[in-house]
């Protein structure tokens, strides 16, 4: 159900990434009912086999690999089909970097079509295909080869469970410049304006790859495809985080439902203590995250439309490896 909000449209800007939502909302909730959070944390599923391949402790950075697991049971966002499903795919991949010196946090988006050396294979492939070999294989792929980013913790977010989190927030405001639709995910915005999206519509918005706007009497599909989708996901996370912050500030003792929704949508490595992580991230989130995207160039390899690292990628990677200064954030 859509609820129209009359708030004026904000100016467009890029914002933190979608898959970080569960981690960031955990940070918000940690400021409220810690006992409720601990009870839920004890029930959070752990991903077996990942801890064995995580990097050793670093003196200056702590990196979290954040993975959005997109179940085909929700319908394929490319075709809208809901027939036979073969499990989950790694739909969104990010690295959250926490600086041990000043406590700041930065977020790096890794394109799902990035062409890399895959751990356990003699050939290259899209990075999201490593998830099919298991979370440990994806961790190793990020740590090795072209990226070479040390990973100290693993967090996997189930997009289906994400719906419950948005509903627990009472919906999230998203603003649209024009009538908007995506037949494959079910997104349907009849007129431009600001709306309160519930979990179902929020997920339809965040998963949209065939995003269309009605402008100048015609429907126009977003030509940026996955890169445009990533931008919209960032915007949705920011709106969700601000909604959670406002609720906890108004009443810190009503966060149990939020924490419960988070616990139902994530899996983590055996060594991660979410409450401890939340405590270390509270200051960073309050100060704002620096957000980065890898510079990439499109290329067709063996008939596959993929992305290769472009100019400027190495300085970003060195920063997330803990070996270089912070480059200018993405805009």
- What pLDDT score does 13 carry? 40
Classify burial at 187, counting beta carbons within 10 Å of its beta carbon; exposed 0-12, middle 13-18, buried 19 or more.
Answer: buried
Strands (E), the chain: 3-5, 61-71, 88-99, 105-110, 115-117, 124-126, 153-158, 172-176, 180-182, 187-189, 193-197, 212-215, 218-221, 266-268, 290-293, 296-301, 304-309
Residue 184 near residue 76, CB atoms below 8 Å = yes
pLDDT digits (tens, 9 = 90+) for 116-133: 999 989 989 999 888 888
Fold of 9-79+86-177+220-321: Aminopeptidase (3.40.630)
pLDDT digits (tens, 9 = 90+) for 241-290: 667 766 766 665 555 566 666 666 778 888 887 767 766 665 555 566 78
Q: Give me 199's structure tokens.
A: 């979990």
CB neighbours of residue 267 within 10 Å: 19
CA angle 107, 108, 114 (to 5 degrees): 160
Ordered by start, the domain boundaries in the chain are: 9-79+86-177+220-321
Look up tokens 């600001």; give the residue.
Answer: 194
| Nearest alpha-carbon partner for 165 in 237, 250, 251 | 237
CA angle 167, 172, 177 (to 5 degrees): 140
In the predicted structure, residue 50 carries a pLDDT above the cut 70: yes
pLDDT category at 325 given cuts 50, 70, 90 is very high
Residue 46 is given by DSSP the state: B
């Amino acid at each position: 159900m859509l609820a129209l909000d009359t708030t004026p449209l904000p100016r467009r800007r890029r914002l933190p990434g979608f898959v970080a939502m569960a981690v960031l909302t955990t940070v918000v909730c940690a400021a409220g009912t810690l006992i409720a959070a601990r009870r839920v944390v004890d029930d959070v599923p752990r991903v077996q086999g990942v801890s064995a391949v995580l990097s050793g402790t670093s003196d200056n950075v702590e990196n979290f690999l954040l993975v959005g697991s997109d179940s085909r049971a929700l319908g394929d966002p490319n075709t809208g089909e809901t027939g036979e499903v073969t499990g989950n795919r790694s739909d969104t991949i990010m690295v959250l970097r926490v600086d041990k010196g000043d406590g700041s946090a930065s977020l790096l988006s890794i394109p799902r079509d990035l062409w890399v050396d895959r751990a356990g294979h003699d050939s290259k492939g899209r990075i999201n295909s490593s998830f099919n070999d298991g979370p440990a294989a994806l961790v190793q792929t990020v740590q090795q080869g072209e990226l070479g980013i040390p990973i100290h913790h693993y967090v996997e977010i189930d997009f289906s469970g994400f719906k419950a989190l948005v509903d627990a927030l009472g919906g999230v405001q998203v603003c649209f410049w024009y009538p908007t639709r995506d037949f494959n995910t079910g997104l349907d915005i009849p007129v431009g304006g600001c709306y309160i999206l519930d979990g179902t519509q929020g997920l339809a918005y965040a998963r949209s790859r065939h995003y269309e706007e009605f402008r100048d009497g015609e429907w126009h599909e977003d030509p940026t495809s996955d890169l445009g989708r990533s931008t919209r996901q960032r915007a949705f996370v920011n709106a969700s985080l601000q909604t959670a912050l406002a609720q906890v500030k108004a009443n810190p003792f009503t966060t149990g439902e939020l924490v419960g929704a988070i616990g139902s949508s994530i899996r983590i490595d055996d060594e991660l203590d979410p409450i401890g992580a939340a405590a270390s991230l509270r200051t960073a989130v309050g100060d704002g995250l620096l957000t980065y995207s890898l510079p990439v160039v499109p290329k067709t390899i063996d008939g596959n439309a993929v992305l290769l690292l472009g100019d400027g990628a190495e300085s970003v990677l060195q920063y997330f490896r803990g070996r270089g200064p912070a480059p200018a954030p993405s805009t």
